A and B are shown apart, each in its own frame.
Chain A
Amino acid sequence: MSSKAINWMDERSILHCITCGAQIIDSGTYCTSCETPIQVSRSVANRNTPARLISVLGASGAGKTVYLGMLLDMLNKGTGGLRGLPNGAFSLGVQEQTITALENRRFPEKTPSEADHWQWVHCETFDEKSPKRKIDLITPDLAGEALALELEKSNTFPTIRTMLRNVEGVVILFDSERVKVAPRSEDIFGVKLVSYLADVNQRPTKERRNKIRLPMSFVFTKADVCADAEDDPQHFAKTHLPGLLQFCERRFERFEFFAASVVGGSTALTDNYGAQIQIPLHVQPRCIVEPLHWVMRQMDKRLWKGVI
């Protein structure tokens, strides 16, 4: 399923795009067929082991930027047996801006939605126990509602489709507060997302009876403000996202629920226009690397039944 990266083929340096597998000439900035930054494919090609993609997904406001920024910083320092090297200016920027903002008791600025090209976070990650087995945490910082639009109408954004067909694992974020107050709409979004993933990852007909092996970890973010999610994420999913849970049980072999938070608390502040803004109180990451680690371990499990 994963696209093999190819080494330098000749002087003109032909690469394979790590997202869509297209042959690309190593010049310019983005892959012409799927818009993945060429620099990401180049660094994978240099490393000499194939790309293995894990993507972080979630609706706008689910907490992707904050989660990713924290995750990158923790991977960079080495946490819970995982290490990572954020790659490229944008990835470093997400890490840096998130931490600086939190240090100043602020959440990072919202991702601007008018960008022509999506910004891609890429972080080469490995388990310290098997440092040669690199995985690529790769996620376009989806502007606005792109993911939601793609789920409504497939191929609105071919990049998303290509990426989700080629990932070997996903981390899916849900805002736990929103799940609690508006469970129906979150459940519907969740079902749309996993049925999309089921669609693009469906294997040939004769294997249909088997469940899809793509490991998925579901993360309830902002758990610091939602004790129900924090205390028992599995049960929280069962009571609030029953449709999603049923779909996963029917079609997917491996999925797990987590509750994560970056801060130990937040509070509201009124700005000059009378609007309330959330500010973080102190940084206290919980369950940030675990969902990723779980997916990585699942990817390494050889689960082909009957094959020795």
Chain B
Amino acid sequence: MFGGESKAAVVNSETGIQKSKDNPGSPKIHFCKLLNCENERPADSELKRLWKSVEQKMAVVPSGRVALQEIGVTVDESNRFSDSMRLQQSQVESFYMDKTAVTNADFLQFVKAGCYEDTQLWDQNIWSKVTQMVDQSGQPGPKFWHNGKPPRELMEHPVVGICWYEAKAYAQWVGKQLPTAGQWQRAATWHHTDQDEGSITKFTWGGIYETQYANAWASGIGSTAPVDEYYDGATPNGIFQLIGNTWEWIDGPFEFQNQPENQNDLVEIRGGAFDTYLDSQMTCQFRSGQSRSHRSPNLGFRCIVPVKNLHRP
């Protein structure tokens, strides 16, 4: 239906309440919803308006190459480990990426729309698992919510306590995708070098770790921050918090050498979180993994859409 390779037009979410003087307490919606329009093309004026909302909520990441670090550990003849230093080159086409992580307020729209009951959004193999994706009160929703709602004060914090399947379903619902490892890394590094080869710039803001540019263990906050904080750590095209605050689900398995066969349920995660202890593990290049059905307080996501999937205005 939505997303995937199909052409999508852009619609502003019908639920997109903006913060305004009349409505000061209401949370900002950080997402826009894309609509499949293979059969019917919206009017040009409509498309123009919709494009504006994409430009507001998403940032374009130019195409280019990234060098992905081959994950982890190799074992040498004397059975000692060493880190693999090999790089895999990968070409990434241009795409739009959400400027902020998906917030609790955003995800609430997904929950309210009854998406946990919408079988179309979930792979048939995991239907039985979906019924277990409940909050503290047993309602469908992220693990740390109550009665199908996030705590009021956390509306603009990234949604956490959602597994990879929930992130995938949400992405599909808004007509987008989860980023691949290459796309995520390209978004974090495109402005440093066109090639992302040779000298590696570790952080979105430069080569040296700065506690005030990202929410990590060293910042001493110990929990998530609102998605639009840490402006100084953002990329030049305004993508916030790729580094820190929460890990982000990636669309792709976490693979490494010497992996035992058929034992790996891990998918890749990126960027580090508020509780990441080592700054070497929250770089633009560091790759880690987490079990697909894991729902943890430090793991969220954001979405992308390839430019080629969008209609011209």
Q: Which of B73, B77, B254 has the most CB of A within 10 A?
A: B73
In the bound complex, residues from chain B placing their C-beta under 8 Å from that of A102 are: 278
Inter-chain contact A284/B277, CB cutoff 8 Å: yes
Inter-chain contact A106/B81, CB cutoff 8 Å: yes
Q: Which of B77, B259, B288, B291 contacts A282 (CB 8 A)?
A: B288
- Contact pattern, A 241-283, Cβ under 8 Å of B = 1, otherwise 0: 0000000000000000000000011011111110010010111
Q: Which of B75, B83, B286, B291 contacts A269 (CB 8 A)?
A: B75
Inter-chain contact B290/A264, CB cutoff 8 Å: yes
Q: Which of B266, B286, B296, B298 has the most CB of A within 10 A?
A: B296
Indicate whether B289 reaches chain A with its CB closer than 8 angstroms.
yes
Tell me the complex Cα distance, A104–B272, Å.
Answer: 16
Indicate whether A144 reaches chain B with its CB closer than 8 angstroms.
no
Indicate whether A103 reaches chain B with its CB closer than 8 angstroms.
yes
Indicate whether A184 reaches chain B with its CB closer than 8 angstroms.
no
Measured CB to CB, the closest approach of chain B to A294, in angstroms, equals: 17
In the bound complex, residues from chain A placing their C-beta under 8 Å from that of B258 are: 269-271
In the bound complex, residues from chain A placing their C-beta under 8 Å from that of B289 are: 265, 267, 281
Name the interface residues of B212-249: CB closer than 8 Å to any CB of A. 217
Name the interface residues of B258-313: CB closer than 8 Å to any CB of A. 258-260, 263-264, 266, 272-273, 275-278, 280-281, 286, 288-291, 294, 296, 298
In the bound complex, residues from chain A placing their C-beta under 8 Å from that of B128 are: none
Number of interface residues of A (CB under 8 A): 23
In the bound complex, residues from chain A placing their C-beta under 8 Å from that of B288 are: 264-265, 281-282
Given A105-B73, A267-B264, residue A283 in contact with residue B278 (CB < 8 A): yes
A-B pairs under 8 A by CB, number: 75
Given A267-B289, A270-B260, residue A285 in contact with residue B77 (CB < 8 A): no
Q: Which of A272, A282, A286 contacts B281 (CB 8 A)?
A: A282
In the bound complex, residues from chain A placing their C-beta under 8 Å from that of B286 are: 282
Tell me the complex Cα distance, A283–B279, Å.
Answer: 10
Q: Which of B254, B259, B281, B296 contacts A270 (CB 8 A)?
A: B259
Number of interface residues of B (CB under 8 A): 32
Inter-chain contact B298/A269, CB cutoff 8 Å: no
In the bound complex, residues from chain A placing their C-beta under 8 Å from that of B81 are: 104, 106, 269, 279
- Contact pattern, A 276-307, Cβ under 8 Å of B = 1, otherwise 0: 10010111111000000000000000000000
Inter-chain contact A104/B83, CB cutoff 8 Å: yes
Tell me the complex Cα distance, A302–B263, Å.
Answer: 53
Inter-chain contact B277/A105, CB cutoff 8 Å: no
Q: Across the two chains, which residue of chain B brings its CB closest to A269? A: B258
Inter-chain contact A283/B281, CB cutoff 8 Å: yes
Given A267-B266, A271-B75, A272-B79, residue A103 in contact with residue B278 (CB < 8 A): yes
Q: Which of B79, B264, B296, B298 contacts A271 (CB 8 A)?
A: B79
Q: Which of A103, A105, A276 contacts B72 (CB 8 A)?
A: A105
Inter-chain contact B75/A272, CB cutoff 8 Å: yes
Measured CB to CB, the closest approach of chain B to A277, in angstroms, equals: 8
Known contacts A105-B83, A269-B258, A283-B276; 10 further A-B pairs (Cβ under 8 A): A102-B278, A104-B83, A264-B298, A265-B266, A265-B289, A265-B291, A281-B290, A282-B278, A282-B281, A282-B288
26 A-B residue pairs with CB within 8 Å: A99-B278, A104-B83, A106-B81, A264-B288, A264-B296, A265-B266, A265-B288, A267-B264, A269-B73, A269-B75, A269-B81, A269-B259, A269-B260, A270-B258, A271-B75, A271-B79, A272-B77, A272-B79, A276-B260, A279-B72, A281-B289, A282-B278, A282-B281, A283-B278, A284-B275, A284-B277
Name the 4 nearest CB pairs between A and B, nearest first: A283-B277, A282-B288, A281-B288, A282-B281
